[in-house]
Amino acid sequence: MITEQQKAKVLSYRWVCLVTLWFVYFFVYFDRVAPAVVAPELMKAFNISAASLGLLSAAYFYPYAAMQIPSGIFSDFLGPRLAVTIFFIVAGVGTALFGLAQSYDWAVAGRVMMGIGVAVVYIPIMKIQAQWFRPHEFSTLTGILLTVGNIGALGAAAPLAKFVAITGWREAFYYLGAITVILAAATYLLVRNRPQDMGLPSLNEVDGVRVDAAEAARDEAIKLGEAIKIAVTNRNFPWLAVYAFAVYGPMMGFQGLWAVPYMMDTFGWTKQAASNVLSWWAIGMICGCPIHGWVSDRVVHSRKKVVITGAAVYTLGWLYIALSPTGWSETTMALFCFLMGGFGGAYITNYAHLTERLPRKVVGTAIGVFNLFYFVGGAFFQQYMGVILDGYGRVAGKFPVAAYTSTFWLCFGGMVIGTMALLFTVETFVKKEAVK
């Protein structure tokens, strides 16, 4: 017999687990986009070209992408709590190494460790959401999670620029590494994989939802190979994968690396001014991600409609800046960044679009396979945009407008393909009544 006290404990302690992991995820995004602010210092410290800087930043994304399937495996078969604890310690060590590095190779090594470590965070959080929360809450919670991440991205813009000006870029990464290790310890102490680990009833039991015992047993018996097969043979998987590559690549190419150099070179703004403007991209995502999740869950009752609308506006934004790369004021560029972050953040509904009709046992693995395409896109665009810039070369120490314009056309072309891919997906939204 389940008591009211047990029910209350489940419904309250799930927030302890999730909020702890939100703090962890804040620093995942901080690490991810920090190179945009310290790009000039990195090029000077290691005497490197734009392509080499692109590779240095992308050294986070390649191992992050490679770790997505293992991350899903760790989440499903090791458990979110232990997986995040171990790998966030790796991320902390890598972050400190990045600050300590006296050579380009050691900086790349630190960045690789950062990518490996933080890769095993997002999917475990998805697993925690699946175990502790209801299916119809998934998109809303994912929107909040990405809002938290983008608050981290916001912290890695103007605030990081100010901190670097005071302490130096190396010291900033020392502190970040120490905080990362502390959060790993907090995860181990506070997070539990599921209510049953605390001797509490499952959420289905709390809600009085009957679960078919035979079906549950089949779900638990799913092996890794079968889990991957279920994920990649999902009708929506290939189309969402194309879109994931296309939407996140330009986002990380611009917000994560080249936006600040573009504004400094093209408009002559200071690094602090450019960082302040770039902050509005993160603010746009902070506002947009939970709105998209809420609209998808509660208003239009659709995943497909929300993501296609966001993709269309986001694509037009790249077209606009490609056609008009000059003549921006700080105010108009801030507005542009806000809108791009806001509408680009519609991709958060893709996770529900992919997983909400899958067995819970394979959710982590499915998201792991899927996430690979986001981060391969991020790595590709960061590095290839650097190659394009180097192809034009510097004029008086700055990359010309034509060089940056070519990178914007690359982003626009990728998004045209990505948006078209979404048209081939099928709706997966499950009404709240249907899951009870």
Q: How many CA atoms lie within 13 A of 3 on its CB side?
A: 5
Cα separation, 367 vs 68, whole angstroms: 8
Instruction: Give the model confidence (pLDDT) of 14-67 as tens digits.
Output: 999 999 999 999 999 888 888 888 888 898 899 999 999 999 988 998 898 888
Separation of alpha carbons 255 and 35, rounded Å: 10
- Average pLDDT rounded to a whole number, residues 81-103: 94
d(C-alpha 228, C-alpha 233), whole Å: 8
For the segment 176-225, what is each residue's pLDDT rounded down to a tens digit? 999 999 999 999 999 999 888 888 887 777 777 665 555 555 555 566 67
pLDDT of residue 217: 54
* List of domains in the chain: 14-192+216-435 (1.20.1250.20)
DSSP 135: G
Q: Pick from 159, 136, 119: which is nearest to 24 by CA? A: 119
Query: Does 322 score more than 90 pLDDT?
Result: yes
Residue 433 has pLDDT above 50, yes or no: no
Question: How far apart (Å, rounded) are the C-alpha atoms in residues 310 and 295?
Answer: 12
Q: Helix, strand, or coil here: 398?
A: strand
The model's pLDDT over 224-247, given as tens digits with 9 standing for 90+, comes to 677 778 777 888 889 999 999 999
Question: Taking the chain, what is the end-to-end CA distance rounded to the nearest angstrom?
Answer: 20
Higher pLDDT, 145 or 94: 94
Q: What is the dihedral of CA 15, 293, 363, 84, to 10 degrees?
A: -40
Beta bridge partners of 395: 398
3-state helix, strand, coil in the chain (%, to 5): 85, 0, 15
For residue 102, the SS3 value is coil
Nearest to 124, CA basis, from 221, 206, 226, 20: 20
Q: Is residue 118 a contact partner of residue 65, using CB atoms and an 8 Å limit?
A: no
Residue 371 reports pLDDT greater than 90: no
Span 70-80, average pLDDT: 83
116-142 pLDDT tens trace: 999 999 889 988 988 888 777 776 787
Provide the β-strand partners of residue 304. Answer: none
Q: What pLDDT does 427 receive?
A: 85
- Reading the block at residue 6, the tokens are 């047990």
DSSP-H helix ranges across 191-329: 203-207, 213-220, 224-232, 237-253, 259-267, 271-294, 304-323
**Average pLDDT along the chain:** 87
Question: In the prediction, which pLDDT does 218 show?
Answer: 55
pLDDT at 413: 97
Going from the C-alpha of 139 to that of each of 50, 243, 296, 338, 358, the distances in angstroms are: 37, 18, 7, 21, 15
- Rounded CA separation 144/286 (Å): 8
pLDDT at 361 (0 to 100): 67
So what's the pLDDT on residue 377? 93
Number of neighbouring beta carbons within 10 Å of residue 25: 23
Give Dmax over CA atoms of the chain in angstroms. 76
The counts of H helices and E strands in the chain are 22, 0
Q: Is pTM, for the whole model, over 0.85? A: no
